[in-house]
Each structure stands twice: as C-alpha cells, then as structure tokens.
Amino acid sequence: MLAKSSTELVRQQNSALVLSALRRHGRLAHTEISDATRLASATISAITAELERAGVIEKMEQQAATGRGRPRVLFSQRRNCGYLIIVIISSDSIQYSLVDYAGTLLDRFTEPRAQGGTAAFLDSISAALERVLARSRINPDEVLLISVSSKGLAHASEPVLVWSPVFGAQPVDFTAVLKGGWPAKVILNNETLLVAGALLERETKKAGEGEPVLAALSLGHSIGLGIGRRGTAPAPDISAPNFGHMLHIPSGALCRCGARGCIEAYAGFYAILRTAFEVPIDTIPAKFVPLGEIDKIAAQARQGNRRAQLAFRQAGVALGNGLSRLLSLHGHMPVFITGPGTRHQDLLQAGIEEGLAEAQVVRLGGMPVLTIAPDEPSLVFEGHLNLAFSIVDQDIILSRPHPPVRAAGE
C-alpha cells in the first residue's frame, strides 16, 4: 500500500510539473516539456497521453518553416476544459472577468459597487455572476473556480473577508454568492498577495531563477504588503501579512480599523489628507478619498507648501519604519512599490529612506532595492490567474484517475 501511495504521489507531482510548464511557456513540444520539467521522455509520453485522453490538454501539428520534414507536435491546455471567473473588488467598483482553461480572456465588465450592507453586496455579486454565464452562454457546471480579491484581511483557509475598509469587522462569506447549485469552488485572497505572486512569476521569467524572495508594497487608500518566495515547483510561497495595521506609533492617529497608531493611519490617502489639513488625529477617517484630492496636495507639496510636504514625508517615514521591521524579520529583499500612490513616490522617497535608515539591518546591509511597479491592475489579474490555475490544475490531477507513470529519471 505504501509503494502504491508513493507511486501515486509521484504521478501527481509529475503531472503538476507538466501543466505548470505549459502554463509558463505556452505550447511546447515533447522534448521542450522534458527540458522544462527535467522529467524523462517516457514519463512525459505517459503524462501527456493520459491528460489528452482526459480532455485536459490537446495537441496540434506545426509545419516546419522550410515546409519539409515531419511537423512538430505541440501540446497546450484544452480551452473548453473549463472556465474561471475572476472578481476584483475595488473601493467603488467590481470587475468581472471570464477566462478559459488556456488562460484566454473571453469577457470582462465592471459594475459600481453596491451600497448597503453585506447582504446587498453579496446579492449584487451573485447577480453579476449569473450575467457572466448568460453573456457567454456557458453553464454553472463548466465553471471550475471563482477567484475573488479585495483589500482587507482574508481568512487563512475560507473565502471569508474578516475585516475590510468598508464593512469593518463584519465578516463577508463569499460562499453565499453561489446560488442555484453552482458546483464551483470559491477562493478569496488579499489583493497585494496576488501582486506579490505576479511579480515573483515575472521576475522568474525575466531572469531565469529570479529573486528568491521579494516584497510588494501597495500604496493608496489602504496600505498592503505581499511577500513572494520561490518554493518547490510548481507553486511559490506567497503571503500577505497585515502590514498596514502594524503599530507605528503607540496611542497615535486613529486608523480605519479602530486602533491607534497603525502604519496606514499615517501613510494611507486619508492620513495624508488629515495631516495636510491639520485635522485632529482622533478624527474618524474617511472610508474613501478621491485620488484627485491627494493629487492636489501633492501639487502643493511640489510647489513648496510645507504642510503638504510634511504629510508625504510623515507617510514615507511610517512606510520605511514598517519595511525596516520586515527586513529585520525576513532578511534583505527587493521591494516593489505599486498602487495609485506610486505617482507621489518623489514626495515619499526621502521619508521612506529615513524610516529604513533607523534599522540596524539596513545600516549594516544597505538600503533595499526599491522599484516602482505602476501597473497594479495588471499585476492583480496576473496574480489571480497564477494562483487560480495552480489550484485548478491540482484539483484536476487529483480528480481524474490515471495509471501510474514513471518517476523522474527513469
């Protein structure tokens, strides 16, 4: 029994490697899959044959450029194997995207975020999911997974938003959006966790092995942090510590979470607005501050207004202090700064460096590399695809019976 279980585990791991290679590189020939996964040719033949019979992948012939010789046989995901629905929740809107199993975007629309309590919010998402099906004429049982992202604190294992800027500590359970017998799985992730995963994948593709670990710092209405670490293939290790609500100053400014002195209470958009206009620090923060208002304060700062300059420098120091704690705990790593707040990086930079410089790990090891990644929406979507497909592929491997295949090197 032990030998049989071990063989089955090897089969699952090798199948996951093959699907991961096709995800990362696109259509591949037999030998290219073998090179990418370092699996033996016989193992690749067995895996691709079984996945093709199960309708998970398909093959096509590519004629040689010269027109002579045998055509190359290329493998790729079968597009109609199933579909994903990606739901990206923002402060004032929700975006819905339908993607096929090959990763092709088929449909996308955005709706204003519903006003009211959690029940109205979930009902509006449920109705929108039905519209996704109707627009593309697919059935609920063809949807493999619904991937949701939001700012806030997500439960570690359930699709439940534990805390959010809009609903506070009132939990939001996204399993309630599936009505009428949808069989799909629902997952929920913090938005910046997905950004970190996407950046890690981009860096790996760009530089081969890429960075072993990196951080993504999101600046905006909320302050988020994601950490991506290369683990054993095919899935990396990504997490989203509650960075924005780490303590910055004891008994300090009031945060949207109800605590005092959080990093976000000094670095979020509402914090910059509060400092610039000399609003008392115990004033209840605004849930949403238009970006245009922050741009006006930034323009004043660039024109020499000292109060506006102080608002951004104070925000930068809070961010730098928080990053210094991150480096003290996890070691040096590059930090990618993303989100709408990157447009004010010139005003934040000095404060960030000041906050970082107070840590011994920075004094001894030097400043971490700070890189601006302005395309946060693209990164969030890429992160959804990377994580969702890793889950879907694994579920498919576990649910479809295959005969044992040879281990690597056999």
Residues 4-28 have pLDDT tens digits of 467 778 888 888 888 988 888 888 9
Q: Tell me where in the chain the CATH 3.30.420.40 domain(s) lie.
A: 81-183, 194-374
Reported in sequence order, the residue ranges of 113-179 that DSSP labels E, i.e. its strands, are: 143-150, 153-154, 160-163, 172-173
Say if residue 234 is preceded by a cis peptide, omega within 30 of 0.
yes
Radius of gyration, CA atoms only, the chain: 24
Q: Tell me where in the chain the CATH 1.10.10.10 domain(s) lie.
A: 2-77
Q: What is the mean pLDDT of residues 222-240?
A: 82
**CATH code reported for the domain at 194-374:** 3.30.420.40
CA distance 19 to 51: 9
Residue 314's contacts (CB-CB under 8 Å, 6 or more residues apart) are 266, 275, 351
Q: How many CA atoms lie within 13 A of 273 on its CB side?
A: 20
Q: What is the mean pLDDT of residues 73-99?
A: 93
Find out whether 76 and 60 touch, Cβ atoms under 8 Å.
yes
CA distance 281 to 269: 14
Q: Does CATH place domain 81-183 in 3.30.420.40?
A: yes
Q: How many CA atoms lie within 13 A of 178 on its CB side?
A: 20
Q: What is the DSSP letter of 181?
A: -
User: Which pLDDT value is given to residue 154?
Assistant: 92
Which of 124-128, 228-232, 386-390 is the least confident region? Answer: 228-232
Q: Which of 83, 76, 111 is nearest to 98 (CA)?
A: 83
- pLDDT bucket at 209, cuts 50 / 70 / 90: low
Find out whether 383 and 373 touch, Cβ atoms under 8 Å.
no
Query: What does the block give as tokens for 63?
Result: 């004629």
- Express each pLDDT in 280-300 by its tens digit: 999 999 878 899 999 999 999
What are the angstrom distances between the C-alpha of 138 and each of 79, 103, 107, 109, 271?
13, 16, 12, 16, 45
Q: Which of 136, 238, 166 is nearest to 195 (CA)?
A: 238
Q: How many CA atoms lie within 13 A of 347 on its CB side?
A: 29
Find out whether 86 and 60 touch, Cβ atoms under 8 Å.
no
Q: What is the DSSP letter of 26?
A: -
Residue 191's contacts (CB-CB under 8 Å, 6 or more residues apart) are 88, 149, 150, 151, 218, 224, 380
Which of 151-165, 232-246, 329-343 is the least confident region? Answer: 232-246
Question: What is the rounded end-to-end Cα distance, in angstroms, of the chain?
Answer: 21
- Express each pLDDT in 302-318 by its tens digit: 999 999 999 999 999 99
Find out whether 371 and 335 touch, Cβ atoms under 8 Å.
yes
Find out whether 214 and 333 touch, Cβ atoms under 8 Å.
yes
Find out whether 316 and 349 touch, Cβ atoms under 8 Å.
yes
- pLDDT bucket at 234, cuts 50 / 70 / 90: low
Q: How far is CA 401 from the centre of its chain?
A: 31
Query: What does the block give as tokens for 114?
Result: 């519903």
Find out whether 373 and 379 touch, Cβ atoms under 8 Å.
yes
User: Which pLDDT value is given to residue 196?
Assistant: 96
User: Which pLDDT value is given to residue 406?
Assistant: 39
CATH architecture type of domain 2-77 = Orthogonal Bundle (1.10)
Helices 269-276/291-302 angle, 10° precision: 50
Q: Is 0.75 topped by the overall pTM?
A: yes
